[in-house]
Amino acid sequence: MPTFKKREYLKRVEKTKYKMEREGIEVLVVVDPANMNYLTGYDAWSFYTPQVVIVGIDLDEPIWIGRKMDVACANFTVWLSPNNIIGYPENLVNHQIKHPMSYITRTMIKRGLENKVIGVEKEAYYFDIRSYEELKRNLPDARFKDSRMLVNWIRSVKSSREIEIMKEAGKISEKAMQVAMDSTVVGARECDVAAAILNSQISGTEEFGGAYPSIFPLFGCGEKAAAPHLSWTDSLIKSDTAIWFELTGCRHRYHTPLSRTLYLGTKPSKKLADTAELVGEGLETVLDFIKPGITCEEMELAWRAVIKKAGLSKESRMAYTVGLNYPPVWAENTASGRPGDRTVLEKNMTFHVLLAMWMDGWGYELSETVRVTDRGCESFATFPRKLFIRE
């Protein structure tokens, strides 16, 4: 049941060990659910309790350790051999005194992993302070070191099979965006539009069903378009209103976010129309510019040059790597399109180029998820790149 062939996972583990060696890390404790999935295939909504994948330079295979009831989930999704799938007792979950890390570290000691240089993910979402303190307390002879997103960085360059899956997700993004455009009508409740979008994201296409997206559809309606991360309400959608949608298809946990803006009415304001024009030009400029060898900050500069002409600026990053993930993000939290980021673009890196302008009282969003190709880039979705205007 894992999504990929075993040899693809083995290659990922090899890359991880190679990087660990270079960083002087002997044992890596992986907690980020996307990294756990990337290395083992593990896929379940269980990241709210402590669970780890342990990669050891001297271990043949990673070890999955999670809650006892989730061993069944691991059995359905990982490629590991049964003796590397280990469950800790249920009474350790959300306990005020006992902690799963006591069990996890006992297992590490049994496997001879107690006095090593241990890499930990200091910026992973589901690695809490208590877990880290228990880990350190139970392994007093180990040295701990921030892995500095080691596996996240490996994830940033995709395999051909990963690209195929993202193309499937792209088809779902297209469909969901079309549903967003069609279901947004004057008088509809915002929640009903959101429901239609989610229905489409999960139902996917006839060929490819959708997985749950790492972020629920974001949309900014009317004056709320000024705020980037609000959710829908029960309010009715009014006429003469601009609404932006930021949504994604998700397939086997791979995301291809896509953003567009719709104006309900006949005549958008001049500033909205002008901004749409400018941002559209910015997007084409950036997509023409992207190719292997350029840096993230050069990509940002290409965009900035366009909006500067109109006296505009955008403080927030204009792109970030995207792909495999779990809530709360589809981003990989590695490279970003902004000044100072000198990450060099490589073939099969995948970026969400998000040219969102959140202004005072209004907003405009246009985005594409693209793959860096041999000589340029290509988008995962085909959807007109314009301000949509409709009554």
Q: 254-273: which residues touch a copy of itself (CB under 8 A)?
A: none
Q: Report if residue 289 touches a copy of itself, rule: CB under 8 A.
A: no
Q: 358-387: which residues touch a copy of itself (CB under 8 A)?
A: 358
Q: Which is nearer to a copy of itself, 228 or 376 (CB)?
A: 228
Q: Report if residue 69 touches a copy of itself, rule: CB under 8 A.
A: yes
Q: Which is nearer to a copy of itself, 24 or 209 (CB)?
A: 209
Looking at the chain, which runs of residues are DSSP E strands? 27-30, 52-56, 63-67, 85-88, 117-120, 143-146, 218-221, 241-251, 254-264, 319-322, 331-336, 350-354, 357-358, 363-364, 367-372, 377-379, 387-390
Distance CA 291, CA 296 (A): 11
Q: Report if residue 316 touches a copy of itself, rule: CB under 8 A.
A: yes
Asked whether the beta carbons of 17 and 55 are under 8 A apart, the reply is yes
Residues 6+ apart with CB under 8 A from 384: none
Contact region with a copy of itself (CB under 8 A), list: 4-12, 18-26, 281-289, 330-338:
330-338
Q: How far is the CB of 290 from a copy of itself (least distance, A)?
A: 20
Distance CA 53, CA 59 (A): 12
Q: Report if residue 338 touches a copy of itself, rule: CB under 8 A.
A: yes
Q: Report if residue 203 touches a copy of itself, rule: CB under 8 A.
A: yes
Q: Return the DSSP state at 161.
A: H
Q: 4-33: which residues touch a copy of itself (CB under 8 A)?
A: none
Q: Report if residue 333 touches a copy of itself, rule: CB under 8 A.
A: yes
Q: Report if residue 315 touches a copy of itself, rule: CB under 8 A.
A: yes
Distance CA 198, CA 176 (A): 8
Q: How far is the CB of 77 from a copy of itself (least distance, A)?
A: 8
Residues 6+ apart with CB under 8 A from 156: 321, 323, 332, 334, 335, 349, 350
Q: 210-239: which residues touch a copy of itself (CB under 8 A)?
A: 210-212, 215-216, 218, 224, 226-234
Asked whether the beta carbons of 65 and 107 are under 8 A apart, the reply is yes
Tokens of 102: 């006591």
Q: Which is nearer to a copy of itself, 13 or 357 (CB)?
A: 357
Q: Which is nearer to a copy of itself, 315 or 374 (CB)?
A: 315
Closest CA to 27 of 159, 115, 92: 115
Q: 95-154: which residues touch a copy of itself (CB under 8 A)?
A: 96, 120-130, 132-133, 146, 148
Asked whether the beta carbons of 105 and 131 are under 8 A apart, the reply is no
Q: How far is the CB of 63 from a copy of itself (least distance, A)?
A: 19
Q: 175-194: which residues touch a copy of itself (CB under 8 A)?
A: 189-192, 194
Distance CA 132, CA 99 (A): 11
Q: Which is nearer to a copy of itself, 11 or 68 (CB)?
A: 68
Q: How far is the CB of 203 from a copy of itself (least distance, A)?
A: 4
Q: 35-64: which residues touch a copy of itself (CB under 8 A)?
A: 43-48
Residues 6+ apart with CB under 8 A from 206: none
Number of chain residues interacting with a copy of itself (CB under 8 A): 82
